[in-house]
Amino acid sequence: CVICLEDVQDADIYTLAECSHKFCSSCVKQHVEATVTTGRTFPVACPQVECTKKFTEGECKKLLSEAALKVFMKKIEEERIPDAERVYCPYPKCSDLMDRRTFLDPNPRKLCGACHRYFCLDCRVPWHTFSTCAGYQRLPLDLKDAADAKLYRLAENQNWRQCKKCRWMIELSEGCYHMTCRCGYEFCYTCGMEYR
C-alpha cells in the first residue's frame, strides 16, 4: 500500500473504480472518513499523488461509518443546491440548510423547518419583528445581533465588501476591482454597485 507502505494481502486491497489505483482497505477508509468529516475537500479525491479522479458516491457510502455517513449525506445535499440558492438557518444551534427556490411566498419572513423559528430570508438573520428589512439594515451595528456586529466591524476594518445579492463577504487580495461573487453577481469592489 503506497499510503502506509505495508505489504497487504490481495483480499485487503481496495481498488478505486475511476482510476484503478490500489490501497489497503483500512487506509482508504481512513482517507475517505477524514476527508468527509474535516470538510477539507469534497468530493473525495483519490489519495494517489497527482491523480485527479474522485471516489464515487457509492464507494464513499460503503466506506464510511454511520456518523461520517450522516455528514457525507448532508454534504451531498448541499452540493446539489447552487451557491446562490443556499440558505442556512441563522440560529447558531440550528444552521439547517434550505433551498431558496423552495420558498414561493415573496414575504421574507420564513419558518425554519428544523428549529421552527422565524428568520428573514433577505437579511439572513433571526426575524426582525419591529423593523422592515431596509430599517434593519440601517440600524447601527450595536443594535443588530452581537455576532453580526463583530463581523461587520471586522469587514469594515479589513475593507471587505458584501455581495448585494447573496450577502457573502468578499476580500480583494489582488487584481482589479471587477468582482464576481460565487453566486455569479458582478460588482465593483470600490463602490459596491453592480458591474456593467
Which of 176, 70, 86, 157 minimizes the C-alpha distance to 124? 86
- Give the span between the Cα atoms of 152 and 139, in whole angstroms: 12
* Phi, psi of 50, deg, nearest 5: 65, 10
Longest dimension (CA), the chain: 68
CA angle 64-84-107, nearest 5°? 115
- Give the span between the Cα atoms of 153 and 24, in whole angstroms: 50
- Give the span between the Cα atoms of 17 and 23, in whole angstroms: 12
Residue 110 grid cell:
420564513
Compute how many other C-beta atoms are within 10 angstroms of the C-beta atom of residue 50: 5
Using DSSP's 3-state secondary structure scheme, residue 149 falls into helix
Catalytic residue (one of 4, 166, 176, 183): 176
What are the residues whose beta carbons fall under 8 Å from the beta carbon of 171, sequence distance 6 or more? 158, 159, 160
Catalytic (active site) residue 4: no
State the catalytic residues: 176
